[in-house]
Chain A
Amino acid sequence: MSYEPKMVGFLCNWCSYTGADLAGTSRIHYSPNIRVIRVMCTARIDPTFVLKALRDGADGVLICGCHPGDCHYSEGNYKMMRRYPLLKKILADYGIEPARVRLEWVSASEGQRFADVVNDMTQRVRELGPSPIQQVLAQDMAER
């Protein structure tokens, strides 16, 4: 069976989660690899969530929030915007390819966009193959 990546998505309740729901009501199909976890705002997303997801078996992590300026809590997404480059730097140091963790802005009316983002990211992660963390963990287990 060919490799299918496991994807985790952190979606903010007001924009991107609603946008994903809109993709549903519009019956816009997208890659089924993603499992969505709802938070109130991307500001809530601790970088440890991303690391935990990667450690627990995710090959890719998608973070979706409101477009800058449209955050339901006025500035929450800016806080995510500031954390994100630092997170990416750390991940690069761990040897995790940049395409595996992605931040996108999806508004409540952008059902199609959500689907497109999920499809695109899933394809890229598929091309990258299984996450290096998983290989290391497997090796680790084997050695024990």
Chain B
Amino acid sequence: MEEQRIGVYVCQCGTNIAKVVNCEEVVRAVSDQPGVVVAKTYKYMCSNPGQEMIVADIQEQGLDRVVVAACSPRMHEPTFRKALQSAGLNPYFVEMANIREQCSWVHDDPQVATEKARALTYGALRRVAKHEPLERMSVEMCPDVLVIGGGVCGMTAALELADGGNRVYLVERQGTLGGNVARVDLTAPYLDSARDLITSLVTRVEEHKRIDVLLHSEVSSLEGFVGNFTATVETIWGDGASVSQFKVGNVVVATGYKEFDASRVVHYGYGKLPNVVTSFEFEKMLRAGRVQTKEGKIPQYVAIIHCVGSRSKEFHTYCSRVCCMTALKYAHEVKSAIPDCYVSDVYIDMHAFGKGHEDFYKRGSEAKTLFLMYAKNDHPVIRKAGPGDDCDMLIEVNEKLSGEQIEIPADLVILMVGMEAREDSEAVARLVNISRDKDGWFIESHPKLDPVATTTDGIYIAGVCAAPKDIPDTVAQARAAAGRILAKTIRGSIEIDAVFAEVDEDMCSGCRVCNTLCPYSAITYDPEKKKSTVISAVCKACGACVAACPSSAIKARHFTDSQIFAQIEGVLA
């Protein structure tokens, strides 16, 4: 083996690493290791000067491999790969050692942390010595897009994409477009008509030449990879059914949410007391222009209860975000419809985070809405009032702002039910190969820096299916996903990661154990040659076949046995 010339860079990440790990010591420890010709430490390796330092050393010192001991490779591996590429070196000749997220941030003893950083750097060093140059493939990027979900989110994304020149397949499970916003009367805080909003979107979508709307439809399978997906859609209506298939390059998941089942909160009596309704049921009343009790009379007292199913250890710990402003909207609408009505708003906290929200809250106060605060773990209790009372129900609240136990009269109670992940969200996640968090919402690539992409290339999430949010944020995400896709499709092609499995035909015995193991059916068998082959474009590099091959005939590029063995040796050295 020819002499290797490896450069080792230990990042200080400001004080993030340097505060705990003695970077100088790590540099010293690696300096005399075989192959190391450059060993340095620097404040911010990912910065331009940091990268330029690597590029300069590659060009001037003739480095052929690089180790960067810094943050998680999930953060900056692409950064350093690009740096190598710009220096003329194959990007796969860099290996990172995670001495931040998995070292300096989780250990406090400097001696121990430095020792661990050294071990991890040794591991990376031994590994990178075994790296091979890999070339990326370029495949065509199909410009068509699949949008799953025909609500505000899906329609906005579809319009943005179609206006950008791409063909869009908009798949909606129900018989009409509009989703949950179509069930709403007015929107908070500016009291615009939701109906107008939806109507304008639906009209534009239906008339758009480049949008194919498939109603009563579900995506039954999605195969392939970014730029080259094949989607199969089943359409079932009334007495007929049909299946269609088409190729798309990217997918936007905009499946939205369902509302929490209020009957699960027993002490609100939903389902038993006729005049306890949910927010969506109240929207129905508003759209019909009739705010009435079940018995048909005009309510004198209306109570609104926040956080039904949200912010609770029993049901969901998260906040559903839209309900506070919607509740204020209801208070306003009740007062407009019935000026003499007394409205009570029973809340835990008032989340008035957005534009116009605080002013809307103040308007609610000025309209003499009585605001009552309850504690998270101390829910109000609703019971039927007695014959002598002038109201239908009484709500008992342990009121926090006064410290008193009080009773509120109510003829109509509106429960602000929270948002929940849909029952089919698990199936959708499996379908497109993304993950869900503990509450069932789809997980984004990075919660701060990459809110619409996912870990699966080509699959984007937008709207409430990723986390509860209001219409402005949903539309922003829909447009963001569309924008990301437009930027990708404009290039016409996409680079496939060079990491996949390869069969060494000489070693292959034709046993075909690997054929059935591949979840992507990426392995084919040639009966004439009696050898199996991996279709590299489809292979996702999970390594199942690699570990299973009894002949060790399949190699996982960039995760070969020798590379991993070398890393094991390094970390234990």
Direct contact of A and B (CB under 8 A): yes
Docked-complex contact B572 and A58, CB < 8 angstroms: yes
Docked-complex contact B102 and A20, CB < 8 angstroms: yes
Which residue from A15, A28, A32, A73 sits with its C-beta under 8 Å from B109? Answer: A32
Inter-chain contacts of A57 with B (CB < 8 A):
572
Given contacts A28-B106, A32-B113, contact A8 B572 (CB under 8 A): yes
For the complex, give the distance between the alpha carbons of A20 and B72 in Å: 10
Inter-chain contacts of B105 with A (CB < 8 A):
24-25, 27
> Which residues 28-74 of A sit at the B interface, judged by CB distance below 8 A?
28-30, 32, 35-41, 43-46, 48-49, 52-53, 56-58, 66, 70, 72-74
Inter-chain contacts of A14 with B (CB < 8 A):
435, 455
Binary per-residue interface labels of chain A (84-114) against chain B in the complex, 1 for a CB within 8 Å, 0 otherwise: 0000000000000000000000011100000
For the complex, give the distance between the alpha carbons of A8 and B122 in Å: 14
In the complex, B541 has a CB within 8 A of chain A: yes
Binary per-residue interface labels of chain B (538-573) against chain A in the complex, 1 for a CB within 8 Å, 0 otherwise: 001111101110000000100101001101110110
In the complex, A75 has a CB within 8 A of chain B: yes
In the complex, B430 has a CB within 8 A of chain A: yes
Docked-complex contact A18 and B541, CB < 8 angstroms: no
Inter-chain contacts of B541 with A (CB < 8 A):
40
Docked-complex contact A44 and B435, CB < 8 angstroms: no
For the complex, give the distance between the alpha carbons of A25 and B100 in Å: 9
Inter-chain contacts of A115 with B (CB < 8 A):
106
Which residue from B101, B107, B556 sits with its C-beta under 8 Å from A32? Answer: B107
Docked-complex contact A73 and B544, CB < 8 angstroms: yes
Number of interface residues of A (CB under 8 A): 48
Number of interface residues of B (CB under 8 A): 50
Q: Nearest chain A CB to B321's CB is how many angstroms away?
A: 19
Docked-complex contact A37 and B519, CB < 8 angstroms: no
Docked-complex contact B106 and A30, CB < 8 angstroms: yes
21 CB contacts below 8 A, A to B, read: A8-B572, A20-B101, A21-B101, A21-B102, A23-B101, A24-B100, A24-B105, A25-B105, A27-B105, A29-B108, A32-B113, A32-B116, A39-B564, A45-B547, A46-B547, A46-B561, A52-B568, A57-B572, A66-B435, A79-B548, A115-B106
9 additional A-B pairs beyond A46-B546, A53-B572, beta carbons within 8 Å, are A14-B435, A24-B106, A29-B108, A32-B109, A40-B542, A45-B547, A46-B561, A72-B433, A109-B437
The chain A residues found within 8 Å of chain B, CB to CB, are 6, 8, 13-15, 17-18, 20-21, 23-25, 27-30, 32, 35-41, 43-46, 48-49, 52-53, 56-58, 66, 70, 72-76, 79, 83, 107-109, 115
The chain B residues found within 8 Å of chain A, CB to CB, are 72-74, 98, 100-103, 105-109, 112-113, 116, 119-120, 123, 430, 433, 435-438, 443, 455-456, 499, 517, 519-520, 540-544, 546-548, 556, 559, 561, 564-565, 567-569, 571-572
